[in-house]
Structure 1
Amino acid sequence: MLVELESHPERSLYYIGARIIHALREAPTGRIEIEWLFKRLNEEGSVRSVPLEYCILAADWLFLLGVVKATSDGDIERCF
């Protein structure tokens, strides 16, 4: 699941995490709502949709790496 090269590489945590980082860099405030992020990951012309569980798991993984943090409002905020 961390790196899924064989069947669906677009569902790997590396790929989804990179898309989350990209969305955070584009956000003017450096923070985004998880619901908005989920919609964005599934609207960008993806070949496959990203399940909500994968989106949350990738955000959790970035949190463990110290790349993002959770705000009191439940948003994701970048730490870089």
Structure 2
Amino acid sequence: MTETLERWSASLARELDIADFEVDIDAVLALAGVAAHAVLRPAAPLTTYLVGYAAGRAAALGEASGEEATARASEIAAALARSLER
């Protein structure tokens, strides 16, 4: 599974013209898992999308590096999901 996800991630990153960005697949899947279990399963893709958007925005505004912005947004999302755990 990991090899397939790595290939998919690299291919998609190239197509999106962000090939130089390294995706931490394990971190993305862990965050998706927290959202899916604490909120609802459909919260997983929504959460990862919003975290990516927020991180990209923060990095574009110069508020943090891409990695720092991603880590911060992920922490916020995971904490919120855990606080709403059903």
Band the TM-score falls in, shorter-chain normalisation? 0.3 to 0.5
Which structure exhibits the higher relative contact order, with contacts defined as CA atoms closer than 8 Å and separated by 6 or more residues? 1
Q: Which has the larger radius of gyration?
A: 2
TM (norm. structure 2) is: 0.31
Q: Which has the higher helix share?
A: 2
User: Which structure carries more strand by proportion?
Assistant: 1
